Amino acid sequence: MRAWKEDLKNLFYTLFHPFDGFFEMKFRKKGSMALATVLLVLYGLVSIFNTQYTGFIFNFFPLHSLQSIQLFLLEVVPILLFIVSNWSTTSLMNGSGTIKDIWIMTCYSLVPLILFNIVTTLLSNVIILEEEPILTAFYYIGVVWFCYLIFCGLCTIHEYTASRNILTLFVTLIAAIIIIFLVILYFTLMDTVIGFIETISTEISKRW
């Protein structure tokens, strides 16, 4: 319990002092993989909560066709893709951060999105349509805060300058696109192979 309290203390310190907080995380090993993983799962669950319980005035999601598992994966998979893409990119660009560092840093940075998603969901049930800019403002505060934490975290754990970090983020985007393409290609080929095997099996069964 004391360890979790210390981890939470370090987390909230990092939210307001990202350079110092991520420095402590990387070089003094104050980050927690367990807490980071809990935050990632919580982010997926809060996204489900936000989609299903946003006030009906502001909720334009087709709730009758949404599935919780699908929503969870749609939110969590892009985060995992970013982690893998950034790790593969920075490994080739002299980044000093390990995949564990990237995992903890990214998941810690999700906290503003988690908090402001909860706030906007609750507010959407008590405000009127004319007050929608309030929801928009809270949403963008969370997004900007998240992006700021990610940027600071990447600079710190990889020991990059701001300009090199921007370049690395661009390369990370390209790497993510390549990974998506390879995954789609893999499943397409597997589908073709399975279809071929099924066709051969059917022909053989009919002949015999």
**Model confidence over 88-144: pLDDT tens digits?**
999 888 888 899 999 999 999 999 999 999 999 999 888 887 888 888 898 899 999
pTM exceeds cut of 0.75:
yes
Radius of gyration over every alpha carbon of the chain, rounded to an integer in angstroms: 21
Instruction: Reduce the secondary structure of the chain to three states and give it as a string.
Output: CHHHHHHHHHHHHHHHCHHHHHHHHHHCCCCCHHHHHHHHHHHHHHHHHHHHHCCCCCCCCCHHHCCHHHHHHHHHHHHHHHHHHHHHHHHHCCCCCCHHHHHHHHHHHCHHHHHHHHHHHHHCCCCCHHHHHHHHHHHHHHHHHHHHHHHHHHHHHHCCCHHHHHHHHHHHHHHHHHHHHHHHHHHHHHHHHHHHHHHHHHHHHHHC
Q: 63 — phi, psi (to 5°)?
A: -60, -30
pLDDT in tens, 39-93: 999 999 999 888 888 877 877 776 666 788 888 999 999 999 999 999 999 988 8
CA distances to 29, 87, 159, 160 from 39, in Å:
18, 20, 25, 26
pLDDT in tens, 171-204: 999 999 999 999 999 999 998 888 888 888 877 7
pLDDT recorded at residue 208: 61
Mean pLDDT for the stretch of residues 26-38:
89
pLDDT recorded at residue 169: 93
pLDDT recorded at residue 131: 80
pLDDT recorded at residue 114: 95
4, 38 Cβ separation under 8 angstroms = no
